[in-house]
Chain A
Amino acid sequence: MSGLATIAKRLLEALPTLFGVILVTFMLTRALPGDPAVFYAGPAADAESIAQVRHAMGLDRSLPVQFASYVEGLAAGDWGVSLSTGRDVTEELSRRLPASLELTLLGLLIAIVVAIPLGVLAATRPNSWVDHICRIIVTTGVSMPVFFTGLLLVYVFYYLLGWAPAPLGRLDFMHIAPDRVTGLYLVDSLIAGDVEVFRASLAHIFLPALTLGIFALAPIARMTRAAMLDVLSSDYIRTARASGLATRTVLFTYALRNALLSVLTTLGMVFSFLLGANVLVEKVFSWPGIGSFAIDALVASDYAAVQGFVLAMALLFVTLNLTIDLLYAVIDPRIRAAS
């Protein structure tokens, strides 16, 4: 019954998933065709350093032992060293993570703010012009390659109109990044009280976030519309209408709250797409997040960095899914009571 018990139960349920994710990442490091040590040592390594890497990675031991030490290393924060930068992968990732998070969250925010009202309007007026617009946006949205949307926005808003700054990262050279508190420039600049840096950060993040927003908008609008249609034909909406409740009450207090519950359950899939799309958008806008880092690492065959990136993204995704589950459990009285 209690909130704490619910949270504990959900956390326990996430453990097998977590184990699976780590196992797959481990297998990815061992499934390299040929000798993993050769890959991890990098293209410039000689026989001696390869042997060193082999021993350091424990490749001369049995697989279960290797897995155990892999997990142990992960837990201790040892995710390997990035070949291209020479620094710890954890350090590289944690330095860049806020940039990616800020972008993803703002993109999601834009998508939600547009998609939910759109889906609701479309569902309440089936076959009206709003519904048709919703359908067009949804079908176009799922057909647009996200990197192409980004480029089009750059062309229109940077090259043609000159409204947006060049797609070259979070801030231009005229501004200095705000002191790090959260790592999110929009938040940190406000904490520092620096309105100008805030505006510059906003100008820089707007187009990439909009790109992600347009991408995530389609699935959310479609789910909202479907869930609303479903709820609006339910028995309890009929009861509410038969009781003469005001349209506003029926729509928001009765229908939307129930519909949002089903939208919430499908948000996990949206996050999966969003985190992938984030990588592409970071490349288009030279955004210094973990996606750009991973692309550079891929091109440089910097395997430890790529594995670290995949694992970090998976952990982030597991955490987001867990958050959705918890949120759901808090909102839905039926789930709350079940645990």
Chain B
Amino acid sequence: MSALLEVSDLSVEFRSRAGTVHVLDHVALSIARGETLAVVGESGSGKSVAAFSIMGILDDAARIPNGQVQFGGMDLLNANRRDLDEVRGREMAMIFQSPRTALNPIRKVGHQIEDVLRRHGPVARGDAKRRAIEALEQVRIPDPARRYDAYPFELSGGLCQRVMIAIALCCKPRLLIADEPITGLDVTTQATIMDLLAELGRETGLATLLITHDLALASQYADRIAVMHAGQVVETAPTASLFAAPRHPYTAGLMAATPTSTTSLDALESVPGRIPPLNADLPVCRFAERCPRRVAECDDPGPRFDADVQAPDHYFACRRPL
């Protein structure tokens, strides 16, 4: 399987009044063509920052001291703005949480789709409108010709997210990054949006990087799952293998905290403790403070990421795995 996107050794830090915040620490991720990878973690775990660094839309205060992002043979971190803009929106696209604020409030949604279409290819004027309506149709928006003229505030949150998806997919990209795509939508809409994403992914052979705090959601839609904690990837494995035998204590904790059809809500535990402040001196394993299995060798320096002996595509970063 050749990787479409390969993130390796990526660190990101923010400089702030309170000192340097180490938001990502040697993160590695990869996605194959057509695959869905879910990145799961609590808020503050750095999953969105990872997505933003791939897209090159990090805040100005961010610095990338080391790391590589390869996308279809292109070195994204060292690409110039012009080359990057050729790729963004055409080869890879992104949708965000709270779709209502992610759309330009004073521009018709149809025009917002056209802006992207025009940017990434010569499109005749009349043709742009037709293709924009097609894009709306593709994401199952009823009455697309009328919605073309709508402003974001005239649409529900679910419809706005469909418009976002239409914008993201109108140029038929190979990779879609979905950053908490259903957060803030109501429950019934959540399922339809996720089903739509899965369906469109299958139809177009799209690879998806799904960012979510919801392990259950990830298990339902992802081929593989990467678990992040405090800016570190702690475990990566195919979904089935991860759920069958989580190796990292944090993953196990997350699973115990996730409701499934077999556990009742009362049996739910939450992972004790909180993500450590990332502007202080950090231990080698950032989960150590919260970990029930911590031993002295956890604090030894040196590489920690290991592949499982029995399952070579199951990686974890723990000196005392389950």
Cβ of B103 under 8 Å from chain A: yes
Whether B98 and A235, one on each chain, are in contact in the complex, defined by CB atoms closer than 8 angstroms, is: yes
**Cβ of A126: which chain B residues have Cβ within 8 Å of it?**
60
Whether A244 and B119, one on each chain, are in contact in the complex, defined by CB atoms closer than 8 angstroms, is: yes
Tell me whether A238 and B153 are in contact in the complex, defined as CB-CB below 8 angstroms, given that A244-B89, A257-B106 are known contacts.
no
> With the chains together, A240 CA to B88 CA distance in Å?
10
Interface string of A203-247 (1 = CB under 8 A from B): 000000000000000000000000000000011101111111111
**Cβ of B105: which chain A residues have Cβ within 8 Å of it?**
236, 258, 334
What's the nearest-Cβ distance from chain A to residue B57, in Å? Answer: 5
> With the chains together, A153 CA to B225 CA distance in Å?
69
Partner of A242, one of B94, B98, B104, B119: B94
Tell me whether A236 and B103 are in contact in the complex, defined as CB-CB below 8 angstroms, given that A246-B119, A337-B154 are known contacts.
yes
Whether A333 and B153, one on each chain, are in contact in the complex, defined by CB atoms closer than 8 angstroms, is: yes
Cβ of A254 under 8 Å from chain B: yes
Cβ of B85 under 8 Å from chain A: yes
Cβ of A253 under 8 Å from chain B: yes
Whether A334 and B106, one on each chain, are in contact in the complex, defined by CB atoms closer than 8 angstroms, is: yes
Partner of A243, one of B60, B89, B98: B89
Tell me whether A244 and B154 are in contact in the complex, defined as CB-CB below 8 angstroms, given that A236-B105, A238-B96, A238-B102 are known contacts.
no
Cβ of A85 under 8 Å from chain B: no
**Cβ of B93: which chain A residues have Cβ within 8 Å of it?**
242-243
Whether B153 and A239, one on each chain, are in contact in the complex, defined by CB atoms closer than 8 angstroms, is: no
Within 238-293 of A, Cβ neighbours of B (below 8 Å) are at 238-247, 249, 253-254, 257-258, 261
Tell me whether A239 and B102 are in contact in the complex, defined as CB-CB below 8 angstroms, given that A244-B87, A244-B89, A249-B115 are known contacts.
yes
Whether A241 and B102, one on each chain, are in contact in the complex, defined by CB atoms closer than 8 angstroms, is: no
**Cβ of A246: which chain B residues have Cβ within 8 Å of it?**
85, 119
Cβ of B308 under 8 Å from chain A: no
Whether B88 and A243, one on each chain, are in contact in the complex, defined by CB atoms closer than 8 angstroms, is: yes
Whether A243 and B116, one on each chain, are in contact in the complex, defined by CB atoms closer than 8 angstroms, is: yes
Cβ of B221 under 8 Å from chain A: no
Whether A253 and B84, one on each chain, are in contact in the complex, defined by CB atoms closer than 8 angstroms, is: no
User: Which of A236, A242, A247 has the largest number of chain B CB atoms within 10 A?
Assistant: A242
Whether B154 and A236, one on each chain, are in contact in the complex, defined by CB atoms closer than 8 angstroms, is: no
What's the nearest-Cβ distance from chain A to residue B182, in Å? Answer: 16
Partner of A234, one of B101, B119, B168: B101
Whether B104 and A258, one on each chain, are in contact in the complex, defined by CB atoms closer than 8 angstroms, is: yes
Cβ of A13 under 8 Å from chain B: no
Q: A237: nearest residue on chain B (CB-CB)?
A: B104
Cβ of A332 under 8 Å from chain B: yes
> With the chains together, A328 CA to B119 CA distance in Å?
29
Q: A332: nearest residue on chain B (CB-CB)?
A: B106
Cβ of B7 under 8 Å from chain A: no
> With the chains together, A261 CA to B168 CA distance in Å?
27
Whether B120 and A244, one on each chain, are in contact in the complex, defined by CB atoms closer than 8 angstroms, is: yes
What's the nearest-Cβ distance from chain A to residue B80, in Å? Answer: 12
> With the chains together, A10 CA to B104 CA distance in Å?
26
> With the chains together, A171 CA to B115 CA distance in Å?
51
What's the nearest-Cβ distance from chain B to residue A50, in Å? Answer: 61
Whether B120 and A236, one on each chain, are in contact in the complex, defined by CB atoms closer than 8 angstroms, is: no
Whether A236 and B104, one on each chain, are in contact in the complex, defined by CB atoms closer than 8 angstroms, is: yes
Cβ of B304 under 8 Å from chain A: no
What class of interface size applies to chain B in its complex with A? 20 to 34
What's the nearest-Cβ distance from chain A to residue B172, in Å? Answer: 14
What's the nearest-Cβ distance from chain B to residue A180, in Å? Answer: 41
Cβ of B86 under 8 Å from chain A: yes
**Cβ of A235: which chain B residues have Cβ within 8 Å of it?**
96, 98, 101-102
Whether B167 and A333, one on each chain, are in contact in the complex, defined by CB atoms closer than 8 angstroms, is: no
Q: B84: nearest residue on chain A (CB-CB)?
A: A244
> With the chains together, A246 CA to B85 CA distance in Å?
7
Whether B167 and A243, one on each chain, are in contact in the complex, defined by CB atoms closer than 8 angstroms, is: yes
> With the chains together, A254 CA to B93 CA distance in Å?
18
Whether A236 and B102, one on each chain, are in contact in the complex, defined by CB atoms closer than 8 angstroms, is: yes
> With the chains together, A253 CA to B60 CA distance in Å?
22
> With the chains together, A245 CA to B86 CA distance in Å?
9
Interface string of B117-141 (1 = CB under 8 A from A): 0011000000000000000000000
> With the chains together, A59 CA to B164 CA distance in Å?
69
> With the chains together, A85 CA to B94 CA distance in Å?
72
Q: A234: nearest residue on chain B (CB-CB)?
A: B101
> With the chains together, A337 CA to B98 CA distance in Å?
22
> With the chains together, A257 CA to B151 CA distance in Å?
15
Cβ of B320 under 8 Å from chain A: no
Whether A244 and B88, one on each chain, are in contact in the complex, defined by CB atoms closer than 8 angstroms, is: yes
> With the chains together, A331 CA to B151 CA distance in Å?
13
Whether A245 and B153, one on each chain, are in contact in the complex, defined by CB atoms closer than 8 angstroms, is: no
Q: B108: nearest residue on chain A (CB-CB)?
A: A333
What's the nearest-Cβ distance from chain B to residue A131, in Å? Answer: 13
What's the nearest-Cβ distance from chain B to residue A192, in Å? Answer: 42
Q: A247: nearest residue on chain B (CB-CB)?
A: B81
Within 158-175 of B, Cβ neighbours of A (below 8 Å) are at 164, 167-168
Whether B104 and A240, one on each chain, are in contact in the complex, defined by CB atoms closer than 8 angstroms, is: yes
Whether A239 and B103, one on each chain, are in contact in the complex, defined by CB atoms closer than 8 angstroms, is: yes
**Cβ of A238: which chain B residues have Cβ within 8 Å of it?**
57, 96, 102
> With the chains together, A222 CA to B322 CA distance in Å?
58
Partner of A244, one of B60, B85, B102: B85
> With the chains together, A234 CA to B102 CA distance in Å?
8
Q: A236: nearest residue on chain B (CB-CB)?
A: B104
**Cβ of A244: which chain B residues have Cβ within 8 Å of it?**
84-90, 116, 119-120
Q: Across the A-B interface, give the 4 residue pairs with the lowest CB-CB distance, nearest first.
A: A244-B89, A244-B88, A243-B89, A244-B85
| Given A240-B115, A242-B55, A244-B120, 6 more pairs with CB closer than 8 A | A235-B98, A242-B88, A245-B85, A247-B81, A253-B115, A258-B104
A-side residues, CB < 8 A to B, are 126, 234-236, 238-247, 249, 253-254, 257-258, 261, 331-334, 337
